[in-house]
Amino acid sequence: MSTTPSSAATAPAQSIPSGPGRAAATGWLIGGIVAASIANALIALIALAAGASEDFQPLQPGAYVSFTVLGVLIGAAGWAVVRRRSADPRTLLARLVPAVVIVSLVPDLAMFVSDYKPHADAAGIIALMLMHVAVAAVAVAVYRRALPLNDTPRG
């Protein structure tokens, strides 16, 4: 009878770190949503104090909190997929996150040359763009805790 473990029983050399449990990860995501919503509230208040239109819908709490929740949760899903499927998730996310943020700014930039969005003014649009960056920054910090990445690429 052999005392060496079979190859089927050994863990993969490059496994995904387990990170916190499901409850802790959920707590991190909720905390991230709260933190990003607070950041957005501060950005909105500063923009309104700087003269942004109070009628610009993206600066209203109902709008930015709803989109913050969606953004953080959709981002977490994307992060989890990349984390599980990519041979080098750290490198892919280092490219993907900035690209997604830049793409998210395109509709905001379009508001500068369009009258599509009522009550959009420069202060409001810039605030909206800063909100996108703030949510991304908070979300990435949270994802690193809730859904940690490997230190080395999987092969």
Rounded distance between C-alpha atoms, residue 34 and residue 94, angstroms: 24
Are 47 and 123 within 8 A, CB to CB? yes
Distances 92 to 16, 55, 100 between C-alpha atoms, Å: 15, 39, 12
What size, in residues, is the chain? 155
What pTM, to 2 d.p., does this model score? 0.82
Average pLDDT over residues 28-50: 98
pLDDT score at 16? 58
Q: 108-123, pLDDT tens digit by residue?
A: 999 988 877 778 899 9
Please, what's the b/e burial string for 15-50 (b: 16 or more CB within 10 A of its CB; e: otherwise)? eeeebeeeeebeebbeebbebbbebbbebbeebbee
Q: Which amino acid is at 21?
A: G
The predicted structure's pLDDT at residue 20: 75
* Predicted confidence band of residue 3 (pLDDT cuts 50, 70, 90): low
